Amino acid sequence: MDSVVQRPLFAGWMWRKDLSQQGIDLLAHYVSETVANTAGIGGTGTDYAQQVDIGASFDLGKLGVWSGAIARLALSDRAGHSLANRTGSFFAYQEIYGQGQNLRIDEISLEKTLLGGDLALKAGFYPLGNDFATMPYVCNFTNVAICGHPQSLPTDSGWSDGPAGRWGGRAKWAITDAIHFQIGLFDVNPEVTRSQDGFKLSLSGSTGFIVPAEIIYQLGTKPDDYAGTYKVGGYYDSSSAADLANPALQDRGRSGYYVEASQQIFKTGPGLRNGLAIFGIFTSGDRDTAKFKYYYEAGCAYRGLIPGRELDLVSLGWVRTDVNPQLQIHEATAGMTLLTNEQLVEFNYTGQLTSWLQIRPGVQYDMRPGAASTHPNTWVYGIQIKATL
């Protein structure tokens, strides 16, 4: 139910088919997001952001190089402006804004399966969020806070989400068909997201390393099953960070954990993915250094609500983040505005216009942008366009 497999617009090109048969698959996407707000500390207006990405995967087995191995290469270019600058929101209303507004290398990686496919080893330069804390049904939204990964993770630590890569790797073990465990080790480098460092591959600027780990329980092995995904994970980041209660102090090491769940609860027929699914996410950040102490997401998605539009999707999502009480102590002592929590709701409709084109109009309502009571609540209206090329 999470997504519709897209058939690229140019999939029929003969040379592309020939390359795919040989083991080389090409990918390209264009995404645009145009949004407008009704209130904000910086006024009202309309902002546009876009992303273009290209990539390729190389089946080294088909190419006669290395059986059971796949190499991947991806680049992206982001441009535009963020509407959140007008409201002061912690949540970017355009999920393709941020993590480096420039042309950059997303991924250079190599993955090898062993033990009959039960063990998968992956290493290279890529965002650790490609493998960890990803959830079905969660990236059916335009706001970054309900799209793909909890935003508390990169805010509270050296966690990296796309398109900003890091050097690192992970090992994933299929304990059973339904239970998997994975653990990784990645560089922490704040410089990678800078506009001038889109092609930075060196380790200069590294502040430490981050170790993410999670266990996954996957339901649904037969067409008639009700699919579900359940994850419990956490991380340790060895980097130093300012103590929130006393910014003059540096605390060495920071950690956090997360729980994620999604479950299909209603189907319109046996063997169909159409129907209703629900999801929920909770994260807890480091007591002394995490800006977002607690973070919550919940929502639902219904595919095929309108007869004759079986691939279309209706989605409703809610997110809330609670500012760390340790930061509130510092704010109260310094006579600053006390930050509490920010909540946002998004409702949208995803229309699958063609096999390669999606359009997603939607509305968001942001309460206390930036967790500040002095920031006015606002409606955000927008449209997202996704093309698979």
Mean pLDDT within 326-347: 92
Residue 221 pLDDT more than 90? no
Model pLDDT, residue 102: 86
What pLDDT, on a 0 to 100 scale, did the predictor assign at position 101? 79
> What would the mean pLDDT of 74-79 be, rounded to a whole number?
95
Residue 205 lies in a domain: yes
pLDDT of residue 139: 80
How many CB atoms within 10 Å of residue 325? 11
| In a domain? residue 228 | yes
pLDDT digits 0-9 by tens, 228-271: 999 999 999 999 999 999 999 999 999 999 999 999 999 987 77
Averaged pLDDT, 343-365: 96
**Residue 353 scores a pLDDT above 90:** yes
Q: What is the pLDDT of residue 196?
A: 85
Contact 263, 228 (CB under 8 A): yes
In the numeric block, which tokens belong to residue 69?
A: 């191995």
Q: Give the residue numbers spanning the domain of 205.
A: 110-381
**Could you please report the per-residue DSSP string of 145-161?**
GGSSS-THHHHHSS---
Q: Per-residue confidence at 323, pLDDT binned at 50, 70, 90?
A: very high
Using 50, 70 and 90 to split pLDDT, how confident is the model at 363? Answer: very high
Q: For 371-385, what is each residue's pLDDT tens digit?
A: 999 999 999 999 999
In the block, tokens 């607690």 appear at 294
Nearest to 378 by CA among 95, 86, 94: 86
pTM for this entry: 0.94
Q: Per-residue pLDDT tens for 150-170?
A: 999 999 999 999 898 999 999
User: Is the residue at 343 inside a domain?
Assistant: yes
Q: Report the C-alpha gap between 190 and 170 in whole angstroms.
A: 20
Q: Examine residue 322 and state whether it is found in any structural domain, yes or no.
A: yes
Residue 67 lies in a domain: no
CATH number at residue 206: 2.40.160.180
DSSP notation for 246-307: -TTSEEEEEEEEEEEEEEEEEESSTT---EEEEEEEEEE--TTT-SEEEEEEEEEEEES-ST
| The predicted structure's pLDDT at residue 127 | 94
Whether the pLDDT of residue 1 is over 60: the answer is no
Percent of the chain with pLDDT over 70: 99
Alpha-carbon dihedral 194, 200, 201, 205, rounded to 10 degrees: -50
Q: Is the pLDDT of residue 361 over 90?
A: yes
37 falls within a domain = no
Tokens (6 digits) for 75: 């680049």
281 domain-assigned? yes
| Mean pLDDT (the chain, rounded) | 93
When divided into structural domains, the chain yields a total of 1
Provide the pLDDT for residue 2: 53
Per-residue pLDDT tens digits for 195-218: 888 899 999 999 999 999 999 999
Residue 3 has pLDDT above 70, yes or no: no
DSSP state of 174: E
Tell me, yes or no, whether 274 lies in a domain.
yes
- Residue 92: predicted pLDDT: 95
Residue bearing tokens 């366009």: 385
User: pLDDT grade, residue 98 (50/70/90)?
Assistant: confident
| C-beta separation of 131 from 98 below 8 A | no
Q: Is residue 24 very low, low, confident or very high in pLDDT (cuts 50, 70, 90)?
A: very high
pLDDT band for position 370 (50/70/90)?
very high
